[in-house]
Amino acid sequence: MSELTIWTYDWVPEGPRGFVRDLRLRWVCEEAGLPYVVRTVPFDGRETNHLAHQPFGQVPFLSDGELEMFESGAGLLHLARKSDRLMPRDPAGEAATVQWMFAALNSIEMVTVPWWFLKISGDADNALTGWMGMRLDQIEKILGGREWLAAGRFTAADLLMADVLRVSDVRAFGDRPATEAYITRATDRPAFRKAHAEQVAHFAAADQKKTGN
Ligand SMILES: N[C@@H](CCC(=O)N[C@@H](CS)C(=O)NCC(=O)O)C(=O)O
């Protein structure tokens, strides 16, 4: 089997630790039992120093033998397809899973990320608040009626949707019990806990290297 390498930064500030999107790829590998290694590119100078691998200077990107790809959603789809644990093999189950993966990125994260950027820029009552509330209410209604999004079981769609929804400010935006229970269900999974702990440890070790302790 070709070696899977998940690429992330060598260090990030404390705020994003536990939320850097390499976690999506670590999590899918843990769920599917795919062996992988994690390698790094420098955080400093990220705007220009690895554009050949990720044209926006971001992480994560993925190598799978000779194949290289960026965008966490694309990497997640690639890895999920290696096993039926995250990607159902039947056409209807696969279609529903892929549909909800795109919904997580294109209908939920495309609202939550700009809302969050405005919020941390100091615009507490920002212009995207109404849109954000509407999207989260819509997903709350869906999650009130089912345990998982597709195929009646945990799939790559839930991994991505839960990762989008668990961002602290998004999670704290209003009271949505079905969404909260869904995030808890997903993040209580041993594969998430391991992936999360290892990302946090990775950046903590980088602090120690920086300070020489
Ligand atoms: N759409 C991209 C977004 C990647 C992204 O925003 N990565 C963050 C870390 S989670 C990053 O590299 N931020 C640094 C920057 O944008 O300069 C994906 O899903 O891979």
Q: Which residues constitute the domain of residue 163? A: 91-189
Closest Cα to atom 1 of ligand 1: 71
DSSP percent split of the chain into helix, strand, coil, nearest 5:
55, 10, 35
**Ligand 1 midpoint to CA 197 (Å):** 20
If you write DSSP's letter for every residue of 146-172 in order, what string do you get? Answer: -SSSBTTB--HHHHHHHHHHTSHHHHT
CB 107 within 8 A of CB 142: no
Per-residue pLDDT tens for 6-58? 999 999 999 999 999 999 999 999 999 999 999 999 999 998 899 999 999 99
Residues 99, 183: one domain?
Answer: yes
Q: From the CA of 70, give the closest atom in ligand 1.
A: 20
The confidence score (pLDDT) of residue 209 equals 82
The confidence score (pLDDT) of residue 2 equals 67
Residues 184, 201: one domain?
Answer: no
Residues 95, 185: one domain?
Answer: yes
Residues 100, 49: one domain?
Answer: no
Closest Cα to atom 6 of ligand 1: 58
Enumerate residues lining ligand 1, CB below 6 A: 20-21, 46, 57-59, 71-73
Residues 43, 119: one domain?
Answer: no
The confidence score (pLDDT) of residue 87 equals 98
Q: Report, as ranges of residue numbers, the positions in the chain whose pLDDT lies below 50.
A: none
The confidence score (pLDDT) of residue 212 equals 67
Residues 100, 180: one domain?
Answer: yes
The confidence score (pLDDT) of residue 211 equals 74
Residues 115, 182: one domain?
Answer: yes
Place of tokens 């044209």: 55
Residues 198, 185: one domain?
Answer: no
Residues 171, 106: one domain?
Answer: yes
Q: From the CA of 58, give the closest atom in ligand 1.
A: 12
Q: From the CA of 21, give the closest atom in ligand 1.
A: 10
**Ligand 1 midpoint to CA 168 (Å):** 17
Residues 138, 65: one domain?
Answer: no
Tally of structural domains, the chain: 2
CB 47 within 8 A of CB 59: no
